Structure 1
């Protein structure tokens, strides 16, 4: 799934496109086909209806002390939620800062990788040594509740905001594993997410695991190779439970193995297909 993103006034909107490859962030204007408030004849967003709704609220709502920033953010969040797409999300400025920190490999939370493609959030892995790993959470666990709130259909940004929190605070998850359901309370901590980890095993076999494609993944990977590759007879590259990330980082890693060729396809609206290739060194 490729992620399309637009940054406006410190907020962040991510809309999904079907694709074969890792995630990527790129500038794109807000789509003009969002349902419910669109003009069905022109396909354009009916901003007049939005303005009318805002005027009615400002004039008639019983509490005149309105938070217009929260209203604006709620409107955008509702627009994105109306897509019904778990891979499309709106991040307010505070959530966007947390998102940036996560891609830099640092945030306060429990250290768990979660996907939102099914009815309930699904755990795909944990950060080694994290509170989630120490609590015994496993790949394949379903998250039924977060802090007592039903997680069915929960958006990525809402689940993230509930799971993450200040260092030292606690969050309780209701987990379904096979036929059993149980609660686990986890104390949040500062998480340092490793982009790349490596070790030499057996008869000079270099084992490299890439946990995600963050902003420094290729540099970290190149450092591992420069230190260990010459003395290794073979290498194992482990991408299990890798949730994706920046496609340029994935391309750079691929370029160390492939001289040239197509790496992924991006499928857009109206059947458009963009093919991305890499040239190795």
Structure 2
């Protein structure tokens, strides 16, 4: 399953606008009808009318003639068959990539399906989350009882090849596409761990990975959140209720290797500690506040001593929760500096099951800090070395339990 580090605003209620969409559409239709008499193109009418209703439009129209000309020349001269769908996807991908933003991306039909499955924790594969670290496809997390775990894959392992084909420079989604497949089939991986090259042959299985897991021991509740999906809020509330019912005195929230997810889920989790109405995060576009997301509901865990574990793979929605709890002094952060992704992406469903993820804003913590490329510094820095990882030691969790006791 791929992990692309994103705060997505899927599922949020549309913002109230002064003019309803139906009024806008009616006005636009009327304008287009009038345009026929005036000899004006509908695109020109849209360029004029849209800003009146608060809809951003391109400063200059896209010249598609070069693309059309290139396609005509390919069709006329290429010595082989052309796949129009692949060419269309390639053109869209190239245009989006030209924006120059790592988090504004185009997903074709297959990638979009994988994206949706990974956010819902359902995929046939080996049970490892994949992300890009230092320009290299890397294992971010290995699921318990998964084929990857049983085979010996570890967090931090770097993908060199899949089924004998190099994956150098591939995106997380690209590697995930090669690693995933039907349950019962086998995938061969070449990995690098430090200076060592390792080969694995792993049989894929149906993977179910809920975004939230929890346990209670010695009056301490441990809440592990691996991503922020549609179910994260309800699962976290269920865990919080169990913590209260069992009389826990302290809570450890493990956000390590959590690359993000939906903003609404981050809001719901932060609301377990923060009073309703308190700011969780503020979004700004071009320096102007576009939305302030506030806590809501009952802060079930308010007042409980809370330790939040973070590391360099805690990103985006994880950083929103960690940043809010730190700013309000509702938790002590332990571990290593977070990833540093302070932007919000909107997920737009395109035709034929394609998806466009586009950066729409930067987000700021309650103390008005944007953490892009800076990350969040924990209150207490505790390193976790590759030797610790290989030996199964967890000094960060050990320190959190010391603080919680």
Q: Same fold (TM over 0.5)?
A: yes
- Aligned match for 1:153, one of 169, 177, 190: 169
1:155 and 1:266 map into 2 onto residues whose CA distance is 27
Q: 1:150-205 deviations in whole A, cap 9, x for unaligned?
A: 22221232112111111111222221212212111211111101211111112x21
Root-mean-square deviation (CA, aligned residues, Å) is 2.6
1:122 equivalent in structure 2: 138
- Aligned match for 1:230, one of 240, 245, 267: 245
Matched, 1:263 2:280: yes
Aligned pair in 2 of structure 1 residues 190, 275: CA closer, same or farther (>3 Å)?
same
Matched, 1:51 2:68: yes
CA drift of 1:116 comes to 1.5
1:24 equivalent in structure 2: 8
Which region of structure 1 is more displaced relative to structure 2, 80-89 or 135-144? 80-89
2:216 and 2:150 map into 1 onto residues whose CA distance is 25
CA drift of 1:88 comes to 4.1
Say which SS state the counterpart of residue 116 (structure 1) adopts: strand
| Alignment check: 8 A CA contact 1:86 1:117 kept | no
Aligned pair in 2 of structure 1 residues 175, 82: CA closer, same or farther (>3 Å)?
farther
1:118 and 1:128 map into 2 onto residues whose CA distance is 26
1:163 and 1:267 map into 2 onto residues whose CA distance is 37
The structure with the largest strand share of the pair is 1
Matches within 5 A, 1:35-46: 44-46=61-63
Aligned pair in 2 of structure 1 residues 106, 74: CA closer, same or farther (>3 Å)?
same
Matched, 1:249 2:265: yes
Question: What are the ranges of 5 or more consecutive residues in structure 1 without an aligned counterpart?
Answer: 4-13, 17-21, 28-41
Matched, 1:98 2:114: yes
Matches within 5 A, 1:36-185: 44-63=61-80, 65-82=81-98, 86-185=102-201
Say which SS state the counterpart of residue 220 (structure 1) adopts: helix
Larger radius of gyration: 2
Say which SS state the counterpart of residue 23 (structure 1) adopts: strand
2:220 equivalent in structure 1: 205
Q: Name the count of aligned residue pairs.
A: 246
| Alignment check: 8 A CA contact 1:262 1:275 kept | no
1:149 and 1:267 map into 2 onto residues whose CA distance is 42
1:163 and 1:89 map into 2 onto residues whose CA distance is 21
Question: What are the ranges of 5 or more consecutive residues in structure 2 without an aligned counterpart?
Answer: 12-58, 298-405
Aligned pair in 2 of structure 1 residues 79, 156: CA closer, same or farther (>3 Å)?
farther
TM-score (norm 2): 0.55
2:66 and 2:282 map into 1 onto residues whose CA distance is 38
